[in-house]
């Protein structure tokens, strides 16, 4: 099983420092099925992602990538969508 320590919103000091130092941005990754989550996490980590955290409310996870990193997450058959995680507003 892929290391997804810190499930939920817990963020430790090491992660915070690394996020600031390396200009990491959180991405929300949605998978086709619950069985796709583990292979998708592995694929995202192979693409340079760090600190994966499963999200029980969706079939997916969040993971951080360098801000300037252009990822090929859409190339994975396990991933249905990937976007920068952030506040959504209407108007």
Taking only the tens of pLDDT, the chain with its 91 residues reads 445 544 455 668 888 888 888 888 898 999 999 999 999 999 999 988 999 999 889 999 999 988 766 567 778 899 998 888 878 788 7
Do 6 and 55 meet the contact criterion of CB atoms below 8 Å apart?
Answer: no
CA 50 – CA 62 distance, rounded (Å)? 9
Domains along the chain with CATH numbers: 13-84 (3.30.70)
Strands (E) located in the chain: 24-31, 50-55, 60-66, 79-84
What's the whole-model pTM score? 0.76
| Tokens, residue 66 | 């360098």
Pairing of strands 79-84, 24-31: antiparallel
């Amino acid at each position: 099983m892929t290391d997804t320590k810190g499930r939920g919103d817990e963020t430790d000091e090491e992660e915070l420092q690394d996020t600031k130092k390396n200009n990491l941005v959180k991405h929300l990754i949605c998978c086709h099925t619950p069985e796709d989550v583990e292979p998708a996490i592995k694929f995202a980590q192979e693409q340079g992602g760090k600190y994966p955290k499963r999200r029980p409310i969706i079939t997916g996870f969040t993971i951080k990538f360098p801000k300037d990193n252009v990822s090929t997450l859409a190339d994975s058959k396990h991933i249905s969508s990937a976007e920068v995680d952030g506040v959504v507003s209407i108007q």
